[in-house]
Every structure is written in C-alpha cells, then in structure tokens.
Amino acid sequence: MNPSSSGWINKHQPVINRFLNAQEINASEFYELALRSGFLYGVSVSSITYGKKEPLKWTEIERTKLNLFDCLYYTYFYNQRDESDFYTEVCAFYEQINPKHASYFSSFSKSKPGAATLEKIIQERVQTNEARFERNFSNLITNALLFLDVIAFEQYLKNKSDLKNYAAALEAGLMNIIWIALMQKEEKEQYDYLLLKLFEKSLRYTKAINQEAQSLDDLSLAPFQTLFEKRYALDLGALALWDDHKLDKTEFLFLNRLGNLLQLPEEVLKVSTTHVLDFIHSNHDRISYLNYSNPVRHFYTQTSDTVKRLILRNKKRLLQELLESKDLVMLLGQSTYRDLNKAEKKQVKAQLLDICKSIPSLAIFMLPGGGVLLPLLIKFIPELLPSAFNDNRIDPSTEDNS
C-alpha cells in the first residue's frame, strides 16, 4: 500500500478497521497514539496504525496523509460506532469548512463522496515537498495545525451549523495560546517571533488574530471544551516553548497553569510537558530540522538560502526591473545605512511585489504569507545592484573595527 498512489485508502481501510475492532481504544488513548506518531507536532515519524511495521519505507508526508485519515476515521467511528456513511460525512464536512479565501477543494466539491474524493482532499490538505509546492514555505507549521481539521470534524458530527465560526474561534484561541507561550521565554530570539509569524500565515479560518492578551488571565478558554480541544491547546503551547531541550521554570509554570485552567488531569499535564522534549530527543537524528538547536532557526536559514538561490537564478531579469524603478533603487540603497520610515517601507513593499508579479519564479512572494520573506529579498538585492548604489553601504567588518 502506497499513500502516494491512487486507491490507497481502499487498501488501508481494512487495516484500521482491524486495528479499531481488535481493541477498545478510548479518545484519550487514541490521542496519545497520534501524539507519539508526531502527527500533532507536524512531523509524522510513524503511523498510528502501523507503528514501526511499515510495509514500505514511507516518507514523512505519506505518514502524515495516513495519520490524518486515521484521525478522521477514528473520530467518526468513535462517535457513530459505524463507518457506513463516513465518506459522505467527511466529504460534506470539508465542503462546508472550506474557507472562502481558499480554493483547496473547489474542484472536488461536486465530486461523488468516496475514497477517491477523500484521497484528493487529503492530498491538497497536507502540504508536500513536491516541486509544485516548493513555494509553500511553512510546511512544518501548516501540518502542525492539521489536527484542527479532526477537532472541527468531531464538532461537525455533533452540530453541523455555524461550523466556520466554531473553527475560527478555536483557531484564534490556539494562536493566542501560542502567542502567550512565546512571551514566557526569558530570552527571546528573532526566530521565536518568526515562529509566531509562521503560525499566523498558516491560519485557515481567520485572517488575523488579536494579540492583546498578555497572559492566560486575559484569555478566554471557552472554545476549549472537549478532550481533543484541551489537549491540543496544551501540546501546541509546549511545542511553541521548546527550543533548547529544556523548559525553564517560568515556561514549566506556564504549561502547568494552562493545564489547570483547561481542567486537565495531573497525568495529562506530565505527558504534555515531557513528551515534546522526549519526542525531539528521540527523533533528533531522523528529522532534518531537528538536527539544529532550534527548528525555526533551521527553517529561517534554509528559507534564506532558497530566496538567495531564486534571486541569483533571476538576477538579470530582476536587475532590469529594479533599474527601471529608480525610486525603489534609491530607497533600497538608503536602507543599507539608515532605517526607512513607515511610508517608505510601504512603498518598497508595494513596488517589490509589483516586480515579483512580472517574474514567475518569484511568485512565492505573492502567495499568502509571502510577505514574511520580503526582508530576505531586500537583504540580498543590494548584492545585485551596481557599486554606485552601494557607496554608503556599511561594511560590518569595518564597523566592528571602528
């Protein structure tokens, strides 16, 4: 069975049926299976139903597709105790939940509900590393939010009305918890703020999050009522805090207080506060981005290299477009030795995006979230400009010696 080939769901469904019928698994036990697989962290190092006994050596994306299906299937099975209408319900759910600003499933909305349609939906839902998705630079974070689909599907099975508002409120609550969690760090780095931006750019049901909440006391936990909702909130908070294989006292107390406010048992608090550390330590050598002291730092470095490569490949065309925009070049030159004001930054951003529109390879900057990469674009552009535009550029080595 190959999750990258059509027909994989029909081959896999008997396996998960046997898995669920062989043992009575409650919601808490299944959640921990999903947690141990890495699916809730956006990194599926194993599959829920196969564990380490994989028929083939699957890729991380293939395991993620399997795990998303298993979580959706279990949620339906657990709530209905019957799988006869699963495909009808899950396809109807995705058609209803599909945000208006996204077009992931528009081509499938009129397809006949079934395994083949769900395969296509899952393929679009899971961000991949295939060439046509190279533009999606927030793979890790987007997949970390996939479990939100499962939680929303559970709500759909209970109450099919007002589903989008429910999903938006839950997503907003999760984002605020992540924001407050990051604020607990005694030493904040630029990568911590980048992590927050990546979460924001991965929003599916809301366009912006109000970050006025500065502590858990300012945060409404009303959206978190079910076991899945509460545990997911706690585990995403733990994921946001991790960066150096340890939690300091402030971070530990934050997670403990969050768990208490969510009214989770003591043993659940222990699992959430220790599992993310154990998971990253155990899989340090298996996952590329875990081989760095901070996964977000690795992402930033990798993305920086990608942007530089795109710029160099399109050097001639980009330079031509830049030289035709004299005001932009002047501002970019000045930005090497002084901070631009708000109006100037806005002008630079708008003109750069106009240039990116004309160069297909730079379409990455036009996608939702592409604005996060603009500082990288600006960082490398001065290297392309003629030396006359760099007369006032400050050489870091010279500055250090002065």
Check whether 248 has a pLDDT greater than 70: yes
Confidence (pTM): 0.67
Contact 382, 393 (CB under 8 A): yes
Q: pLDDT for 328-371, tens place per residue?
A: 878 877 777 778 888 888 888 888 888 887 776 676 676 545 66
Nearest to 343 by CA among 353, 354, 331: 331
Q: Which residues contact 145 (CB under 8 A, 6 or more apart)?
A: 42, 171, 174, 199, 202, 204
Q: What is the largest CA-CA distance in the chain?
A: 75
In this structure, the number of other CB atoms found within 10 A of the CB of residue 359 comes to 17
> Inter-axis angle of helices 315-323 and 326-334, to 10 degrees?
100
Check whether 252 has a pLDDT greater than 70: yes
Q: Among 23-32, 76-85, 239-248, name the one with the lowest average pLDDT.
A: 239-248
Coil, helix or strand at residue 150: helix
Q: Give residue 7's pLDDT.
A: 92
Q: How far apart are CA 14 and CA 22, in angstroms?
A: 12
The mean pLDDT of the chain is 75
Residue 140, CA atoms < 13 Å, CB-side half-sphere: 21
Q: How far apart are CA 247 and CA 185, in angstroms?
A: 9
Q: pLDDT for 171-219, tens place per residue?
A: 878 878 887 887 777 666 665 666 566 555 555 666 555 555 567 877 7
Evaluated on CA atoms 287, 47, 138, 126, the torsion sign reads: positive
Check whether 250 has a pLDDT greater than 70: yes
Q: pLDDT for 301-320, tens place per residue?
A: 656 666 777 777 788 888 88
Of 129 and 78, the one with more pLDDT: 78
Of 152 and 374, the one with more pLDDT: 152
Q: Phi/psi at 120 (nearest 5 deg)?
A: -65, -40
Q: How far apart are CA 263 and CA 90, in angstroms?
A: 30
Percent of the chain whose pLDDT exceeds 70: 69
Report which residue type is found at 16.
I
Q: Phi/psi at 23 (nearest 5 deg)?
A: -150, 145
What confidence category does residue 137 fall into, taking pLDDT thresholds of 50, 70 and 90?
very low
